[in-house]
Amino acid sequence: MSEMGTDGAALEQELERMLEIEKFEPPAEFRERALWSDPAIYEEAAADPVAWWTARSKELLDWDVEPTQGLDDSNPPFYKWFEDGRINASAQCLDRHVAAGNGGRVAYHWRGEEGERRDVTYAELLDSTRRFANALKDLGVEKGDVVGIYLPMIPEVAVAMLACARIGAIHNVVFGGFSAESVRERMEFSEAKALVTVDGARRKGKTAPIKQQVDEEMGGLGSLKTIVVIRSTGIECPMTEGRDVFFEEICAAADPECPAEPMEAEHPLFILYTSGSTASPKGILHTTGGYLTGVAATHRYVFDLRPETDVWWCAADVGWVTGHSYIVYGPLANGATSVMWEGAPDYPHKGAWWETVQDTGATILYAAPTAIRTFIKWGADIPAKYDLSSLRLLGSVGEPINPKAWLWYHQVIGGGRCPIVDTWWQTETGGIMITPLPGITATKPGSATTPFPGVSAEVVDERTGEPVAEGQGLLMLEKPWPSMLRTLYKEDDRFVETYFSKFGEERYLVGDAARRDKDGYFWVIGRIDDVVNVSGHRLSTAEVESAIVAHENVAEAAVIGQSDEDTGQAICAFVTLAGDTAPSEGLDAGIREEVAARIGKFARPKRIVWADDLPKTRSGKIMRRLLRDIAEGRALGDVTTLRDPDVMAELEKQIAAEGDED
Ligand code: PRX
């Protein structure tokens, strides 16, 4: 227990002092034992990235048919990797570990909401996966079909994903926090043939009737032939004869033998919908061999992972890419033992995470800055009650981490001894792209430091596309990498337009602004498009606007992301009401309700500003830049292009009135 943990003022002083430290070198003990400690790895990879990635792919995966090809770039930006190789993702994650005698190793230490514990071994996971794969086949699911997965954090979510991979079905996981309407939309876009869900899901002592909600939305969806229901909470749920089946029953009846069929390296592994600039989500498509190579390599080397001794905990949800890559595919491909966490960080109590570290002996923790900021608010005396000495490495993901939070994480959770890897990447990149290597890189709080070996990133001038050596610009990825998205599902043109139209088909436009410092370190600033990042959840302003205007009393809405101490960004909505409807608290609640139903509770606006009119250009485009200025209390930028400059004066009055109410 650290002394600092219990004395808030001393800790505060210590962190203030540490803000002066520019760089944190890897601790000598860590460097000496690290898998990678020689910086020559960067040059080796840069000399021939394709050969280097190919070597990683052979080092970390056991191919059924080894690829003779590395990168096929004959049709940019539709890149292919390891094309003539054959591999099955579920066999890589399960069978080979069991065959090597590690079937008894725990794959997941599952921790349930009410403190339940369940350890699932590799052998058990393989058995369940085989059975469910056969059950899916019995239901008529074939290679290339899309299967939706809408589940809470229970071990069956991994079983469902791996069973799809085993038979070549493409999974489309929807985060459990999305509403059933969002699920329907994603099932419709992807023409899913089956959906795997639960009777109910638990959240902080309450149970949501998930299957019932799904039923209310799924009627009439022609492509959807089957809904598989996992009995997770045991609550009653409606079942439709001929369409709905219970997971437990079909698995019990299924053949336990199910040989894994080798897939083409470029066979689609999954689609994951994410938010872009417009209201309709983008179906990011990842394929098998390149994706597995990317996640296995980054998981192993960014986190210095020793499968025999480490207990790995990625505290994300499987419904986001972080969960796909670092709860399921990366850790299982590497034969790691992971913690899988079902609940909220403050349930049953605010020390639940730290109790879990203590109980499982977790050695590596990978979490989002928003969680860290929450823990800071709750106080260092809570983690100080637990033994966190098993931790040896910490990771951060999902949004920029502010230096103060980084230092708190380092001192209070890491006891000052654990390196921190701040990892920058996206749904599109499949795996980590910019990150320290913990045995090599000197870290700077707030910077994701430099690209992973084999990855080329640049910060370029917005107009010319020329690299900016020092200073701010657009973040670009300059060369193809194995785990990159292959396209947007069924929207090839949108794929090219979104990522490869600005500076050519060879340069991937990330959508983030970044700057480089004198040491060449990257500092990611945030999105340049209309995407907001609320508690690490990616949302498009257009998506939220379209949910708000669906409310019967709303005429128009403009949504912006506003800086927020707790959640990084928060949704702020400027709303114009229809006719002579007057603003009211009821209306405010009604609008939030509408957003919860259409997208999910996490997308509800934190702040609603009633507006008589919105600032628009002469061509009618809403000027969100001005709304951001006004919401954050900054001096207004250029207003000369506004159709009606008086609108801003009115809005300023409105904001001032809001302040008075507080
Ligand atoms: O803006 C960047 C931010 O999250 C975006 C990607 O979001 P998503 O596809 O949901 O994936 C999140 C998990 C990888 C990026 O465009 N972002 C992610 N990691 C970081 C980050 N911003 C700063 N620092 C990071 N480490």
Beta-carbon contacts of residue 581 (< 8 Å; ≥ 6 apart): 553, 587
Instruction: Determine the distance separating the centroid of ligand 1 and the alpha carbon of 401, expressed in angstroms.
Output: 11
Which among 282, 399, 452 is the best mutation to test ligand 1's pocket, defined by most ligand atoms within 8 Å of the CB? 399
Q: Which of 252-261, 463-472, 523-532, 630-639 has the lowest mean pLDDT?
A: 630-639
Instruction: Determine the distance separating the centroid of ligand 1 and the alpha carbon of 458, expressed in angstroms.
Output: 16
Q: Whose CA is nearest to atom 12 of ligand 1?
A: 398
Q: Whose CA is nearest to atom 26 of ligand 1?
A: 424
Q: In terms of DSSP bridges, do strands 337-341 and 106-111 run parallel, antiparallel, or are they unpaired?
A: parallel
Taking residues 44-69, what's their average pLDDT? 98
- Give Cα separations from 187 to 146, 150, 193, 225 (angstroms): 9, 10, 8, 11
pLDDT on residue 416: 97
Mean pLDDT, rounded, of the chain: 95
What value does the CA radius of gyration of the chain take, rounded to a whole number of Å? 25
pLDDT on residue 2: 46
Ligand 1 site residues, Cβ closer than 6 angstroms: 274, 320-322, 397-400, 422-427, 448, 511-512, 524, 526-527, 533, 538
Counting Cα atoms < 13 Å in the Cβ hemisphere of 53 gives 29
Q: In terms of DSSP bridges, do strands 531-534 and 522-527 run parallel, antiparallel, or are they unpaired?
A: unpaired
Beta-carbon contacts of residue 546 (< 8 Å; ≥ 6 apart): 279, 598
Q: Whose CA is nearest to atom 22 of ligand 1?
A: 399
Report pLDDT digits (tens) over 513-571.
999 999 999 999 999 988 999 988 999 999 999 999 999 999 999 999 999 988 999 99
Instruction: Determine the distance separating the centroid of ligand 1 and the alpha carbon of 443, expressed in angstroms.
Output: 18
In angstroms, the first-to-last Cα distance of the chain is: 40
Helix H segments across 38-148?
Answer: 40-47, 49-60, 89-90, 96-97, 122-138
Report pLDDT digits (tens) over 575-625.
999 988 999 999 999 999 999 999 999 999 999 999 999 999 888 888 888
Instruction: Determine the distance separating the centroid of ligand 1 and the alpha carbon of 423, expressed in angstroms.
Output: 8
558 in Cβ contact with 576 (< 8 Å): no
Instruction: Determine the distance separating the centroid of ligand 1 and the alpha carbon of 522, expressed in angstroms.
Output: 13
Of 454, 418, 456, 450, nearest in space to 437 by CA: 450
Instruction: Determine the distance separating the centroid of ligand 1 and the alpha carbon of 186, expressed in angstroms.
Output: 22
> For residue 396, which atom of ligand 1 is closest to its CA?
26
Report how far residue 256's alpha carbon sits from residue 553's, in angstroms, rounded to the nearest whole number.
56
pLDDT on residue 5: 47
Report how far residue 399's alpha carbon sits from residue 413's, in angstroms, rounded to the nearest whole number.
19
Of 218, 198, 219, 202, nearest in space to 210 by CA: 198
> For residue 427, which atom of ligand 1 is closest to its CA?
9
Report how far residue 81's alpha carbon sits from residue 182's, in angstroms, rounded to the nearest whole number.
32
pLDDT on residue 635: 85
> For residue 401, which atom of ligand 1 is closest to its CA?
24
> For residue 435, which atom of ligand 1 is closest to its CA?
26
Angle between helices 541-549 and 585-598 (to 10 degrees): 120
Q: In the chain, what percentage of residues exceed pLDDT 90?
A: 87
Q: Whose CA is nearest to atom 4 of ligand 1?
A: 398
Report pLDDT digits (tens) over 327-368.
999 999 999 999 999 988 999 999 999 999 999 999 999 999
Query: E strand or H helix at 547, and its extent?
Result: helix 541-549
pLDDT on residue 6: 57
Q: Whose CA is nearest to atom 10 of ligand 1?
A: 538
> For residue 511, which atom of ligand 1 is closest to its CA?
16
Of 186, 197, 187, 208, nearest in space to 156 by CA: 197
pLDDT on residue 224: 96
Taking residues 55-74, what's their average pLDDT? 98
Q: In terms of DSSP bridges, do strands 364-367 and 337-341 run parallel, antiparallel, or are they unpaired?
A: unpaired
182 in Cβ contact with 600 (< 8 Å): yes
For residue 213, which amino acid is it?
Q
> For residue 428, which atom of ligand 1 is closest to its CA?
9
Instruction: Determine the distance separating the centroid of ligand 1 and the alpha carbon of 647, expressed in angstroms.
Output: 34
Report pLDDT digits (tens) over 211-238.
999 999 988 898 999 999 999 999 999 9
- Give Cα separations from 439 to 46, 313, 448 (angstroms): 19, 19, 15
DSSP secondary structure letters along 284-323: EEEEHHHHHHHHHHHHHHHTT--TTT-EEEE-S-TTSHHH
Taking residues 39-43, what's their average pLDDT? 98
Q: How many CB atoms lie under 10 A from the CB of residue 596?
A: 16
**Residue 296 in this model has a pLDDT that exceeds 80:** yes
Instruction: Determine the distance separating the centroid of ligand 1 and the alpha carbon of 424, expressed in angstroms.
Output: 6
Q: Whose CA is nearest to atom 5 of ligand 1?
A: 426
Report how far residue 209's alpha carbon sits from residue 211's, in angstroms, rounded to the nearest whole number.
6
Angle at 380 between CA 377 and CA 386, to 5 degrees: 130
Q: Whose CA is nearest to atom 13 of ligand 1?
A: 398
**Residue 377 in this model has a pLDDT that exceeds 60:** yes
pLDDT on residue 72: 98
